[in-house]
Amino acid sequence: MSEKISKHEQVKGYVGWKINSLHDISDTGPGRGMMANLRRGVGKSPGEIPELWGLIFDKMPEELLGKSKASPAEWAVYTALTLYALHQQGNEKFMNVEDVSVGKAASMLVHNEDDEDRIRRRLGLVVTATSPSDLAYHLRGVIQLLSREEIGLDYARLARELYLMNYEERSKDIKLAWGRDFYIRKKAEDENAQQ
């Protein structure tokens, strides 16, 4: 008997598959066109841009689809894919990097104390966002910084976390994990610098 896969794991698997599919065709005309369309979707709502319907919804597991308005899974998939396209723009290196959380990636932006304050404030805006659209908006600023420094992020993981952020207790756990990841990496670097 097969085990039922949770929705958050389906979101993660679907986004991982989509990103790898996009990466496989990234140097073709259609692939570049798809990425450009996804970038146009940043800051918009799922379903708002008809050119994205197939990119977002084609082969999406039926239980993840909304009934009237966009479901939490659709928001998570849409946000992760559009931000990935933004992040990948202009970068030769594949920006989808497994096991790199938002907190860990943000910590890689810190080069001095001023950076730490600035990046911590940016993360603060992300974790205090009150809606999926606000969350996507504030994540966009972090992604733009990561892109400039060619720091990757695990987008399948991000999609899973964005989905789970719709549930208060899980949201608290994710925000806590991002904070830990931000400071644990910094602490390790500080200790290495002292040796």
pLDDT in tens, the chain (195 residues): 446 889 999 999 999 999 999 999 999 999 999 999 999 999 899 989 999 998 899 999 999 998 888 999 999 999 999 999 999 999 999 999 999 999 999 999 998 888 889 999 999 999 999 888 999 999 999 999 999 999 999 999 999 999 999 999 999 999 999 999 998 865 555 555 555
Task: Name residue, tokens 């389906």.
Answer: 10
Distance from C-alpha of 38 to C-alpha of 187, rounded to nearest angstrom: 36
pLDDT of residue 114: 85
Question: What pTM, to 2 d.p., does this model score?
Answer: 0.91
Gap between the Cα atoms of 74 and 136, Å rounded: 13
Residues in a beta bridge with 153: 96
Quick check: helix, strand or coil at residue 153? strand
User: Backbone phi, then psi, for 39, in 5-degree steps?
Assistant: -60, -35
How many residues comprise the chain? Answer: 195
The CA–CA distances, whole Å, from 27 to 31, 54, 60, 91, 181 equal 6, 20, 24, 12, 33
Q: Give the C-alpha separation, 11 to 151, whole Å.
A: 23
